[in-house]
């Protein structure tokens, strides 16, 4: 049986390129967004205090580097890997290296549950057996989507939202996102009207809505969701018989713990199982602890079926047992976690105040925020036209002239133009000052013309 056509070995032959899947060739991976173009500019010309002081300062990456010293001194003193590495570590290492049970290390789950409770000031309790581990919140969000929705169904998400959701929730799952439009007239809070409008939009397009997904505290707003709004949301979900997912990945980054209400607190006081069972929480150590490299995400669900299914599905994305072991040690050290949570909040608050006040001096307002690793800055007054193009034009100027990579609101699907997310926790205080200086010089130049 001869070949119909001689295939060239080189993949440069574009005429007969072998087919990949629809998922593979789609652009739902989202990397063509300006959100990432800025990152590339940074990668090509990264700021460095000594070696490249005129390079691009990365303010588009929501990383928490303000509390590393606490982690490092803990690790060095207590060596949380110690039991695997030292002379006593003989049995420990092998058991740990073999441990691939998708339930996850019990000690680690217990430590996570306890850490999550501390963050909420003990206002909610978490059962370690409801914790499902995944390699990052990225995987947790995708996994929940696979479990709660079928292809072509939709999740309702308030705008503006984390740009990564477009990929994480839609790419391989085939599920859609229908936006719940929020605007500055009420500080971008979700209103019952906006919820209904979004639901009806989906219905009119014959799309089945399976749930609402919120991020609380919000990315990119840097603000917590009010308790009343959470109650309304849960109410809405019950009425429509859909799920509520709360991504609380920034819960430990709220400046004042009392200002954060977790959906867990609301559920804590509810007895009706049919209400509880539609609530699911996503968490991760990437933001609060600044450990995105370790890939530690969790799904916490009040629904037994979801817990069981998520656990099975986590086979595709388990947390390294080496990492589970180290963090179990670290997170069960009560003295350490209390100190860490407290100091981390303080340092983030101070950073926030520094940047917001610095911007205010230049006549730039930010949304009143109380959490997160970024502020939501309003440059609407600087746009040539209040359109997406106008916004991207300004963004480009800021990137090329000021060499600051910040994230345009349109990449977060914001319906108002001129808003930008500015990260402040992924750099030294000195670098933050330099960034503010560049902004000052820019505004100065503009004022003179």
Q: Which residues in the 62-101 window bind other proteins by CB under 8 A? A: 63, 65, 68, 71-72, 75-76, 79-82, 84-87, 89-90, 93-94, 96-100
Judged by CB under 8 A, the residue of 158, 160, 252, 290 near other proteins is 290
Is 316 a binding residue for other proteins by CB under 8 A? The answer is yes
Q: How many CB atoms lie within 10 A of CB 388?
A: 15
Rounded distance between C-alpha atoms, residue 19 and residue 6, angstroms: 17
Is 20 a binding residue for other proteins by CB under 8 A? The answer is yes
Q: Which is nearer to other proteins, 290 or 358 (CB)?
A: 290
Judged by CB under 8 A, the residue of 195, 198, 281, 326 near other proteins is 326
Is 323 a binding residue for other proteins by CB under 8 A? The answer is yes
Rounded distance between C-alpha atoms, residue 232 and residue 292, angstroms: 32
Compute the Cα dihedral for 181, 215, 262, 144 and give only its sign.
positive
C-beta of 326: minimal distance to other proteins in Å? 7
Q: What is the 3-state secondary structure (H, E, C) of 104-144?
A: CCHHHHHHHHHHHHHHCCCCCCCCHHHEEEECHHHHHHHHH
Catalytic one of 57, 119, 190, 249: 249
CA distances, 332 to each of 115, 121, 416 (Å): 8, 16, 44
Identify whether 271 is a catalytic site residue: no
C-beta of 231: minimal distance to other proteins in Å? 19
Q: Which is nearer to other proteins, 90 or 387 (CB)?
A: 90
Q: How many CB atoms lie within 10 A of CB 373?
A: 25
C-beta of 76: minimal distance to other proteins in Å? 5
Identify whether 368 is a catalytic site residue: no
Q: Which is nearer to other proteins, 183 or 277 (CB)?
A: 277
Q: Which stretch binds other proteins (CB under 8 A): 44-52, 192-200, 218-226, 299-307?
A: 299-307
Q: Which is nearer to other proteins, 304 or 401 (CB)?
A: 304
Identify whether 242 is a catalytic site residue: no
- Contacts of 182-186 with CB under 8 Å at 24 or more apart are 182/158, 182/415, 183/415, 183/416, 184/367, 184/378, 184/416, 184/419
Is 318 a binding residue for other proteins by CB under 8 A? The answer is yes
Q: Which stretch binds other proteins (CB under 8 A): 113-121, 180-188, 311-319, 356-364?
A: 311-319
Is 243 a binding residue for other proteins by CB under 8 A? The answer is yes
The footprint of other proteins on this chain (CB under 8 A) covers a number of residues equal to: 87
Query: What burial letters (b/e) apply to 309-330, b meaning 16+ CB within 10 Å?
Result: bbbebbeebbbbbebbbbbbbb
Identify whether 250 is a catalytic site residue: no
Enter the tokens of residue 366: 């930010």
Is 46 a binding residue for other proteins by CB under 8 A? The answer is no
Is 309 a binding residue for other proteins by CB under 8 A? The answer is yes
C-beta of 416: minimal distance to other proteins in Å? 29
| DSSP string of 6-67, one letter each residue | ---SSTT-GGGPPP--HHHHSSTT-TTSHHHHHHHHHHHSB-BTTTBTTSBEE-S-----TT
The three-point CA angle 95-98-100 to 5° equals 120
Judged by CB under 8 A, the residue of 206, 271, 293, 448 near other proteins is 293
CA distances, 430 to each of 25, 351, 407 (Å): 43, 11, 21
Q: Which is nearer to other proteins, 29 or 187 (CB)?
A: 29
Catalytic one of 161, 162, 302, 340: 162
Q: Which stretch binds other proteins (CB under 8 A): 181-189, 314-322, 397-405, 410-418?
A: 314-322
Q: How many CB atoms lie within 10 A of CB 441?
A: 13
Q: Which is nearer to other proteins, 73 or 385 (CB)?
A: 73
Active site residues: 162, 247, 249, 287
């Amino acid at each position: 049986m001869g070949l119909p056509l001689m295939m060239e070995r080189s993949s440069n032959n574009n005429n007969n390129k072998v087919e990949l899947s629809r998922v593979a060739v789609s652009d739902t991976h989202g990397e063509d967004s300006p959100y990432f173009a800025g990152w590339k500019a940074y990668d090509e010309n990264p700021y460095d205090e000594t070696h490249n002081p005129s390079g691009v300062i990365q303010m588009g990456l929501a990383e928490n580097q303000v509390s590393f010293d606490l982690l490092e001194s803990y690790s060095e003193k207590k060596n949380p890997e110690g039991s695997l590495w030292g002379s006593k570590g003989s049995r420990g290492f092998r058991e740990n290296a073999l441990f691939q049970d998708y339930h996850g290390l019990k000690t680690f789950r217990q430590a996570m549950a306890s850490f999550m409770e501390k963050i909420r000031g003990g206002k909610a309790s978490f059962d370690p057996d409801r914790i499902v581990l995944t390699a990052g919140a990225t995987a947790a969000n995708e996994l929940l989507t696979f479990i709660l929705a079928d292809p072509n169904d939709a999740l309702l998400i308030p705008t503006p939202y984390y740009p990564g959701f477009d990929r994480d929730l839609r790419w391989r799952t085939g599920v859609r996102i229908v936006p719940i439009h929020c605007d500055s007239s009420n500080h971008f809070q979700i209103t019952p009207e906006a919820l209904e409008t979004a639901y009806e939009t989906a219905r009119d397009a014959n799309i089945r809505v399976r749930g609402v997904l919120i991020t609380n505290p919000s990315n990119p707003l840097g603000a917590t969701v009010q308790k009343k709004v959470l109650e309304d949301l849960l109410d809405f979900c019950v009425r429509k018989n859909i799920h509520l997912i709360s991504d609380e990945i920034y819960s430990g980054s709220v400046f004042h713990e009392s200002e954060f209400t977790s959906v867990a607190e609301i559920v804590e006081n509810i007895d009706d199982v049919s209400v509880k069972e539609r609530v699911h929480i996503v968490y991760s150590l990437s933001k609060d602890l600044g450990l995105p490299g370790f890939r530690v995400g969790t799904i916490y669900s009040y629904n037994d079926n979801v817990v069981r299914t998520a656990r099975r599905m986590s086979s595709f994305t388990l947390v390294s047992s080496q990492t589970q072991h180290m963090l179990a040690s670290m997170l069960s050290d009560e003295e350490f976690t209390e100190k860490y949570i407290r100091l981390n909040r303080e340092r983030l608050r101070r950073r926030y105040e520094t940047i917001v006040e610095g911007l205010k001096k230049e006549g730039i307002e930010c949304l009143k925020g109380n959490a997160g690793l970024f502020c939501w800055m309003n440059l609407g007054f600087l746009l040539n036209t209040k359109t997406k193009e106008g916004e991207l034009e300004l963004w480009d100027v800021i990137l090329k002239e000021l060499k600051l990579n910040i994230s345009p609101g349109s990449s977060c699907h914001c319906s108002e133009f001129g808003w930008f997310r500015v990260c402040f926790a992924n750099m030294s205080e000195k670098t933050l000052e330099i960034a503010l200086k560049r902004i000052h010089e820019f505004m100065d130049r503009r004022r003179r013309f």
